[in-house]
Structure 1
């Protein structure tokens, strides 16, 4: 299957929720150049405060089914992000034709005894032949599941 998947995970705490921290975080990239790898592969990029320096890794194969469901049939790739909790307002699966891209964004809020933690997940998917710069261009399809994260 000719599929390139890129996960971009951004982590932060309440220290960078507002003001200069939020401005800096909002300027972080949603996508990065792809590594030189044979599809299918998963390229993961993580950034966290305070420096938000990107760290990346590459794994051959497809992402686990408990993260993303990818199904190819009749020359079309069906993509669905798996959420850890049910939601009544979930978007339907996205169908990609060859050489089409998808950017799907979801944010999360977590708590421990002392603080709130936040994460933005950006899934970039390419169906078809890869090029290093493909995700640096506007995607063919975009799904935005980001919601207001209070606190």
Structure 2
């Protein structure tokens, strides 16, 4: 499978929810340049407020676990079905049985899906934005830096 997945997770607190913090957070990219690796692979990027939103990157060979996202090749198309993987104590205004709708991309196309969550713990309230970038059959380092072929925005007002 010639599939590349970039999964970005952005975490912040109320300090970056409004004002200058929100401006800084909103200016963060939706994608990063890809590392040198042979497909299929997963490029994970984590951006934490407490680290000044400096990206921490890891690369894992193969596809993401089916418990996080289903990637199914059928008749030359790639079906992408993210599984809701927010912690049980997270809320994004969606029913717990909710599953994202399936998106389908053709070879040489890209998909960008975004969903946000509000996380409440004993230490306070946190927020998370997940951005899933998927490429099918095409890879360059700058691939996800360009507008995606298809975009699915499942963000809600938190």
TM-score, with length taken from structure 2: 0.90
Q: Structure 2: which 5+ runs fail to align?
A: 86-95
Q: Tell me, yes or no, if the aligned pair for 1:14 and 1:115 is still in contact at 8 Å.
A: no
Structure 1 residue runs of 4 or more that deviate by more than 6 Å after TM superposition: none
Which residue of 2 is the match for residue 32 of structure 1?
Answer: 32
For the structure 1 residues 97 and 34, does the alpha-carbon distance in structure 2 shift closer, same or farther, using more than 3 Å as the test? same
Q: Secondary structure at the match of 2:151?
A: strand
2:149 and 2:42 mapped to 1: Cα distance?
Answer: 19
The answer on 1:139 being equivalent to 2:135 is: no
Which residue of 2 is the match for residue 86 of structure 1?
Answer: 97
Which residue of 1 is the match for residue 136 of structure 2?
Answer: 127
Q: Secondary structure at the match of 1:132?
A: coil
Which residue of 2 is the match for residue 57 of structure 1?
Answer: 58
> What are the Cα deviations for residues 13-62 of structure 1, in whole angstroms up to 9, with x where unaligned?
11111101111000001000111110000000011114000110000000
Q: Secondary structure at the match of 2:65?
A: coil
The answer on 1:115 being equivalent to 2:116 is: no
Q: Structure 1: which 5+ runs fail to align?
A: none
1:130 and 1:114 mapped to 2: Cα distance?
Answer: 41
2:30 and 2:20 mapped to 1: Cα distance?
Answer: 19
2:11 and 2:141 mapped to 1: Cα distance?
Answer: 25
The answer on 1:106 being equivalent to 2:106 is: no
2:143 and 2:24 mapped to 1: Cα distance?
Answer: 24
1:61 and 1:36 mapped to 2: Cα distance?
Answer: 14
TM-score, with length taken from structure 1: 0.94
1:79 and 1:19 mapped to 2: Cα distance?
Answer: 35
Root-mean-square deviation (CA, aligned residues, Å) is: 1.0
> What are the Cα deviations for residues 121-140 of structure 1, in whole angstroms up to 9, with x where unaligned?
00000000211101000000
Aligned residues: 147
